[in-house]
Structure 1
Amino acid sequence: MSNALFPLTIFTTKRRFNDFSTDDMRYGDIPEDRLRKEFGLNNISNVVEPYTLTRLTAFDNPQSRFAGTYGGIHRGDKLSVQQCAQLLFEEMQVTSLPFSFIGPHRYLINQMLRNLQLSRGLDFHNPQLDIAYRDKLHSDYATRQTKTVLHDNIGLFIDYNNKGFPHNKLEKLASALKDSILPKFDSLLLDKINGMGITIHDVYATKIEILRLDVNDHSWKENVRFTGQDHFGLDVSDIRKQKFNQFQFFRIWFVLQRFNKFGFRPFLTNMQAVINIEGKR
């Protein structure tokens, strides 16, 4: 019986890397009337009216006690598209605070918003994001979490006599990983306030590679690399959901990305982590 040779990719999600065909990667494709009628995006900002490119005053601000005093007349200054977008991005920085006010990764959202504003769709990578990804892998110990599934199935099929992992068991390992819960940032509380829930939340595509496997008479140790990629963009199904539509942060984001006057390009977010997993006979 031959052993598998490492390094080796043992799992890749069906959702592919570098996928620009999804709805959340579209930009500048929706006109005003659809944004208003289909998605109910009427009151977007407390600072500007993006549809008319007008700065709001106390008489226009939907949060103000004076709102509507002058009917539909906007009394603020007219803005250029660039000026209006700048004010909306500044407002996003402020409205992101309730989702990102604790922990070492809370400033990632600021960097990703700058990437959305300035990069024209260039991929995003940050060492702090890799750390968050590694921490997530180490923090999840539920029965079906990927790290646990790897540990249990490697240990189940290790060939101690030949000091390796049988090549014909790779398919069983891949099948077990397919049914596992892949790492993502969706914890019930922490990811909602540490910034990871709005920067990543889900991970669109994942690849798992065993870089090295060492086996002796009584134990084994493997070096595993996880590579994840997400889309920093909103699709129409997102904004239709109450959990997104109710928050000003996401309404502004959707308008900046999808409104045909703006069209800021979403981008791919890349992360990678290498962890050790070990077990005994």
Structure 2
Amino acid sequence: MAGAYVLVALGIMAINITEVPGILMLIVKSALGLEEAAGGAAGSVTAAMLNGIKRGLFSNEAGMGSAPNIAATATPAPHHPSSQGLVQAFGVFVDTIIICTATAVMILLSGVLEPGSGVTGTQLTQEAMEAHLGDFGGYFIAVAILFFAFTSIVANYTYAENALYYLKGGNTLGVTVLRLAALGMVIWGGYEAVITVFNTADASMGLMAAINLVAIVLLSGTVVKLTRDYLAQRKQGAVPHFRSKDYPELHEKIDSDIWH
């Protein structure tokens, strides 16, 4: 679905190619708060950075510790932890730089954005697509959002259930409570205002990031060592391969058979 979304966005940008450079420049200026700062708006740069960080977390979950749940179930190729880490980093690029930028460009090209109108999110994107593609645009966004939302719900529920089992709470009662809570959040989100949902999500993700960033700092030395090993093997022309015995701090804590 993401591929189809990007293709549609590229088609719209190709049709309006002469306007795209100006739109991209406007995005950069607005993201950095340059126009507001030039106008003397107090706190404009800070506000721009704060909103950018919040929406960035929402789009790619970088630093939250959720995406590695998928990485943990993957078979890295080459067979080295850093190769999967690079894949996850590329996912951040795709989510934010490609998909989010494509959405912003389509909205700005459509001319439907009216500051202060209160129209945001999915509704704004649908209106933009309808301006470009007619009724088909609205239906396309509805279907895209359905797939994006469904896959996000399934993935995050899977993360939560795996964590529950790891914490020894994966009994019938624990799983049932988790499932009811997940369904309740979906229903609650459908009834609440968009701003309320976003604020709740921002607070929840901020809490996750605060906890996970501590783990990242503690593991940073090992990550640097792994990355240097990976790049050194690539520089030698070899296919990188992880050797757990080279990492005594990890050797007794991991399943060596997996990395054999």
| TM-score when normalising by structure 1 | 0.19
Which structure has more strand as a fraction of its residues?
A: 1
Give the number of the structure with larger relative contact order, counting CA–CA contacts within 8 Å between residues 6 or more apart: 1
Which structure has more helix as a fraction of its residues?
A: 2
Structure label with greater radius of gyration:
1
| TM-score when normalising by structure 2 | 0.20
